[in-house]
Amino acid sequence: MTAVDEWVLVAGRRVRYRVTGDGPPVLMLHGIGRSLDDFAEQHDLLGAALRVHSVDMAGFGESDPLPGKSTLPGLADAVAGFLDEVGETRPAHVIGNSLGGAVAMLLALRYPDRVRSLVLANSAGFGSEVTIALRILALRPLGRLLLHPSRGGARRTERAIFRSSSFVTEARIARTFELAKRPHGARVMLDLCRSLGTFRGVSRPWRDAVLTATAAAAVPTFVVWGSHDLVLPAIHLEAAKVLLPHARTHLFADTGHMPQIERAEEFAQLVRGFWADSVPG
């Protein structure tokens, strides 16, 4: 099944998305500095009996940025606006990777009628520990210097994401470099990193607020992690078990920050099983 890029205007902003299949809706949200390309494999694996959407969140990939500062609530509101514009009014199964996991949780809290279940893959929010590369972005002026686009920087980014070097392809490096050159990219990254954390790590107040409310809401939730994540360490999965006692969890062995790519078929199989077992018909 081939997913092609489509475009829609959300509050006057141009937003790129892909959609495949027909059935109950699925929405997939990528991580910081990333794009919907990180879910290409899942479109193929999940898109037969489901209506699967992936979207470049505001300011990332090829989507236009928010008019003001980029914040977690702003991203969640923009995702809700995207669903409105594509006419998807049914509650969706939402899959979020990294920053996309935090956006997914906030979407469920701000728009509970839009979210049927949550799949959080190596999600932000479960601990303060985060790669030094993102912590440096909270520092001025080092953050902006670090974000200067380069092919070497793109290669280092891809190497940090995957456990297996076989996924660090020249095509992925070229795509990461291409997207990093967008003129608003550094501003969006700096806005988000400085609103969500400091050089010490991911800030606790927003994490506590989101996770406490998510636990209370008890939306069917599946939290998965890669054992060798260099961005958000796998010890966060243990925190998830405590903070979200209602959630199902799974650890992918010998896997990095993006199990939806490195363990694509197993990821899809586990997610389908979770939906079948845990989400009311």
pLDDT value at residue 237: 97
Whose tokens are 């590369």? That residue is 133
Structure tokens at 265: 């078929």
Measured CA to CA in angstroms, residue 195 lies from 11, 72, 128, 138, 281 at distances of: 23, 8, 14, 9, 38
Report the predicted TM-score, pTM, of the whole model to 2 decimal places: 0.95
How far apart (Å, rounded) are the C-alpha atoms in residues 56 and 38? 10
213 pLDDT band, cuts 50/70/90, is very high
pLDDT value at residue 189: 83
Instruction: Choose between 147 and 124: higher pLDDT.
Output: 124
How far apart (Å, rounded) are the C-alpha atoms in residues 124 and 98? 5
Measured CA to CA in angstroms, residue 142 lies from 28, 130, 145, 148, 194 at distances of: 32, 17, 5, 10, 12
Whose tokens are 């899959």? That residue is 95
Range of weakest confidence among 41-55, 182-196, 213-227: 182-196
Q: Which helix (H) or strand (E) holds 96?
A: strand 92-97
Nearest to 84 by CA among 148, 27, 126, 141: 27
Nearest to 115 by CA among 228, 224, 220: 220
How far apart (Å, rounded) are the C-alpha atoms in residues 94 and 221? 10
Range of weakest confidence among 61-65, 100-104, 184-188, 213-217: 184-188
State residue 182 phi and psi, 5-degree precision: -65, 135
pLDDT value at residue 153: 87
2 pLDDT band, cuts 50/70/90, is low
pLDDT value at residue 193: 81
How far apart (Å, rounded) are the C-alpha atoms in residues 153 and 57? 22
Nearest to 30 by CA among 118, 109, 121: 121
Structure tokens at 43: 């479109």
pLDDT value at residue 59: 97
Question: Is residue 150 pLDDT above 80, yes or no?
Answer: yes
Q: Walk me through the domains of the chain, giving residue ranges and CATH numbers.
A: 6-128+204-278 (3.40.50.1820)
Structure tokens at 244: 């979200």
How far apart (Å, rounded) are the C-alpha atoms in residues 156 and 163? 13
What mean pLDDT is predicted for residues 200-227? 90
Secondary structure (3-state) at 89: coil
How far apart (Å, rounded) are the C-alpha atoms in residues 196 and 207? 9
Contact at 8 Å (CB) between 224 and 199?
A: no
Cis geometry, peptide bond prior to residue 280 (ω within 30 degrees of 0): no
Percentage of the chain lying above the pLDDT 90 cut: 76
